[in-house]
Structure 1
Amino acid sequence: MPGGSVGWRLAVMAMIDAVGTGAFLAVSVPFITRSVHLSEGNLGLGLTLSAAVALATAIPIGVLADRIGPKKVLVAVSLWRCACFVVYPLVQNLWQFLTVVCLLGLVDKAAAPMEQALVGQATATEDRVRVVAILRSLRNVGFTVGALLGGIGLLIDTRPGYTAILLVNAASFAVLASLAARLPVLSAPAKSLRRRFSASVLRDGSFLSFTAINAVLTMHMTLLSIGIPLWIVQHTDVSSALISPLVAVNTVLAVALQVRASRDTDTIAGAARALVRAGICLALCCLLLITAPELPLTLAVGALLLAMIALTGGELFQSAGGWGGSYLLAAPGQEGVYLSVFWLGVAIQQIAAPVLVSLVVTTGTPGWTVLAALFAASGLTAPAIGRWAQTRADNRTHPDPAPAETT
């Protein structure tokens, strides 16, 4: 395990977090609709408000992390989430539900950048991308285990059963906070950083451009959860029963190949190449999906399988390139706020992509063609953005000397 004992501790933290979250995701909607008896519209309202709160707090929490360190922030965030999930089973009406999810939203988009920043502080530079890749593989396993655990609550289908699963998730955050508090770090925030927030990240065009193309490429998540299932059900003769095996193919390949896909992404050029591959893979996925409705059943299944493999390739290369690039492009001493902005791009995509992907599915071939072009263009733009960012980074490290005074 890269990172030695620290890497193993991070792995345990990732597994515990993923198991708890996977269990919660399995029961969250049935709990609100069946036990609390809220409508799907009320559920959507709560999630929308929570997302809005999360977007507003992501950058301030990143600023705080640069001042006191991501470890302390992650501990606080985990304890906050633990407290919220202890209260969650007590929700009885819409206003209580809105209150709890908005309180969760305060820190919802902070956990991922804090965890990434903590990996950067706790492991050597040459190990951090590999460590993050391993953690992502373990998270996929943990989500699956958690979903199976949540399935027990679904089988029981009573409020006490759902409550037990929700409290398991709360306990996972308590354990995560305890483990994070004892995690040794190699570096700490410099004393010179105890100053007012500088908006330099919002003026860093190369980093914002990198964040934008990465956000576009993370649409693979929405393709997996919404795009491909809707396309199969509405536009092909293939049975909807194929969706689960295709998702399983994605999960298995992601677990098996994520570390391999992260190789050579510890440089800006290497991270950019990974994003090029991601864009090409996702574009190929879209083009393969176009062919499925026109093919005989057996060939259509084959096309969908190849599309899922291409999607998984895009996911693996995007993740690796995004991690490597976000570490390397962050201004020294401002990793917390830079990574928060980076993950904010992913969050905005998660809000906008369902609408875009649904439109693509509705329009059919023209929509998939445009989306394929968007993916390809985003990936192919990465090297130029990488060179731009490298120039900015070099200028930060070696600023031009002041002109000599003449007499």
Structure 2
Amino acid sequence: MSDLWQRVRGWRGSVPGGTAGIRLAVLTSIDAVGTGAFLAVSVPFITRSVGLSEGQLGLGLTVSAAIALATAIPIGVLADRIGPKKVLVWLSVWRCAWFVAYPFVQNLWQFLTVVCLLGLVDKASAPMSQALVGQVTKAEDRVRAVAILRSLRNVGFTVGALLGGIGLLIDNRAGYAAILLLNAASFAVLAMLAARLPILSAPAKSLRRRFSVSVLRDVPFLSFTGINAVLTMHMTLLSIGIPLWIVGHTDVPSAVIAPLVAVNTVLAVALQVRASRDTDTMPGVARALTRAGLSLALCCVLLVAAPKLPVVLAVGVLLLAMIALTGGELFQSAGGWGGSYLLAAPKEEGVYLSVFWLGVAVQQIAAPILVSVVVTTGTTGWVVLAALFAFCGLAAPLLCRWAQKRADSRPQPEPEPTPAEAVQP
């Protein structure tokens, strides 16, 4: 028992934020397991059990995504008013309620209703979670904490996908419903844990926060968000670009795709914290984004070479391309997190982080089309994409200095009153 206690104490010491950090880690893991399970069964459930076509499924997801883009900034503004913890609790309750309704969908209109109501809050959870990390950890520990949570999230997605596999094996409505309700239950637990999460900021401080959308006039921050969004295309390369390229343009068996993705997952879990070092300063952020851009450019160049090689050598080159892609992912994530924290205006972190994640969301919608064009055009497309990644990476230092200068020129916020001062007439 004493040995177990020592291990628990050691783990507690490794997570920034102490008890609050551990609770956030548990919260993140539960969320990831539920989401991973949902993603594994959601499409088969809608197409097989509900009987909707792929086009109807795509329509619902597209409309839901559009709604999510429209509501992200208003929710961020609200978080600056009442605090991200309260917002995350209510987001979780909302998602729990509609994921409970998900297994009972019978037709297109019910599906559209449920996914659109879920879309109202779909893009708000990530910035709220990141804002919460900023409230439960010290400034110098924020990026490391997010990196640890990212590693836990990757593990949770894998566990969730395995649980979802049980529903796929059962392959009937009851099996799918059980997995979908498991996801709903995860949001109920998430809401309870988030409600009890201690934060460093005193509750009275949130009352002095104001509604503001000044972020929409912060051109350096918007530019930083844009470059980061371009670099997050590594997600689409992993899920769409590389598989399409292997299947359609090389002699490599498609069975190689799964091990390559596994390499990405293992490296991301093992190295994310290390890649986040020194990204609590803008020079460190700039270096990370430069490395990300050059790594992704190298990945594209290696992919160009794969079709011209014998199968064995092509597999080796694809492995190197996946390692380069993973490097780009790790450095982009760390640089993006660090920069979004450092450049957010005080008392407006909620809306700034919402805009930052909105850039990622826009990329997730536009990138599949762009990457499909790249794969179709072949070598020319990959070379152009490599040049785009390299440009964004090399432009990062100049952009980061510009954004930092803008952030330093902001008026400093008024000091918060002490509780005694707050009650003075």
Task: Quote the Cα distance in structure 1 between the aligned partners of 2:165 and 2:404.
Answer: 48
Structure 1 residue 218 corresponds to structure 2 residue 221: no
Structure 1 gap segments, 5+ residues each:
400-407
| Superimposed CA distance per residue, residues 315-359 of structure 1 (whole angstroms, 9 cap, x where no aligned partner) | 000000000000000000000000000000000000000000000
- What one-letter code is carried by the residue in structure 2 that aligns with 1:29? V
Deviation, structure 1 residue 398: 6.5
Q: Which residue is 2:34 aligned to?
A: 20
Cα displacement string for residues 81-129 of structure 1 (whole angstroms, at most 9, x for unaligned residues): 0001000001000000000000000000000000000000111111111
Match of 2:419 in 1: none
Shift of 1:198: 2.7
For residue 106 of structure 1, the aligned residue among 98, 106, 120 is: 120
Name stretches of at least 5 consecutive residues in structure 2 with no aligned partner.
1-13, 414-425
SS at match of 2:296: helix
Contact 2:64 2:118 in 1 (8 A): yes
Q: How far 1:193 moved relative to its partner?
A: 2.1
State the distance in 2 between where 1:380 and 1:177 align.
41
Looking at structure 1, the residues matched to 90 and 255 of structure 2 have their Cα atoms a distance apart, in angstroms, of: 42
Deviations 1:210-232, CA, capped at 9 Å, x for gaps: 00000000000000000000000
Which AA in structure 1 matches 2:342? L
Q: Which residue of 2 aligns with 1:402?
A: none
**Comparing 380-389 with 159-168, which one deviates more in the overlay?**
380-389
Asked whether the 8 Å contact 2:212–2:348 carries over to 1, the reply is: no
- Correspondence list, 1:380-399, <5 A: 380-397=394-411
How far apart are the structure 2 equivalents of 1:369 and 1:20? 38
- Secondary structure of the equivalent of 1:337? helix
Q: Which residue of 2 aligns with 1:116?
A: 130
Query: 2: CA distance between counterparts of 1:200 and 1:141?
Result: 37
Deviations, residues 51-104 of structure 1 (Å, cap 9, x unaligned):
000000000000000000000000000000000100000100000000000000
Counterpart among 184, 201, 207 of residue 191 in structure 1 = 207
- Aligned residue pairs total 397
Instruction: Tell me the residue number matched to 1:51.
Output: 65
Deviation at residue 244 of structure 1 after TM alignment: 0.2
CA distance in structure 1 between the aligned counterparts of 2:83 and 2:266, rounded to whole angstroms: 35
Q: Which moved more, 1:184-193 or 1:244-253?
A: 184-193
Aligned pairs for 1:53-132 (under 5 A) are 53-132=67-146
Q: What pairs with 1:194-213 in structure 2 (closer than 5 Å)?
A: 194=210, 197-213=211-227
- Find out whether 1:309 has 2:323 as its counterpart: yes
Matches within 5 A, 1:229-248: 229-248=243-262
What is the rounded CA distance, in whole Å, between the counterparts of 1:202 and 1:162 in structure 2? 42
Q: Tell me the distance in 2 between the aligned counterparts of 1:214 and 1:67.
A: 27
1:200-255 per-position Cα deviation (integer Å, ceiling 9, x unaligned): 10010110000000000000000000000000000000000000000000000000
Whether the aligned pair in 1 keeps the contact of 2:82 and 2:206 (CA below 8 Å) is no
State percent identity of aligned pairs: 82
Which residue matches 2:17? Answer: 3
Are the aligned partners of 2:164 and 2:179 in contact in 1 as well (CA < 8 Å)?
A: yes
Letter paired with 1:261: A
Relative to the length of structure 2, the TM-score reads: 0.92
Distance 2:96 2:168 in 1: 22
Alignment of 1:360-375 (within 5 A): 360-375=374-389
Instruction: Report the equivalent of 1:403.
Output: none
Given that residues 260 and 319 in structure 2 are in contact (C-alpha distance below 8 angstroms), is that contact kept between their aligned partners in structure 1?
yes
1:405 matched to which residue of 2? none
After TM superposition, give the deviation of residue 297 of structure 1 in Å. 1.0
Q: CA deviation at 1:25?
A: 0.2
2:355 paired residue among 331, 335, 341: 341
Q: In structure 1, the residue corresponding to 2:140 is in which secondary structure?
A: coil
The CA distance in 1 between the partners of 2:276 and 2:411, in whole Å, is: 26
Hey, what does 1:322 align to over in structure 2? Answer: 336
Write the letter of the residue equivalent to 1:157: D
Which range moved further: 293-302 or 232-241?
Answer: 293-302
User: TM-score w.r.t. structure 1 length?
Assistant: 0.96
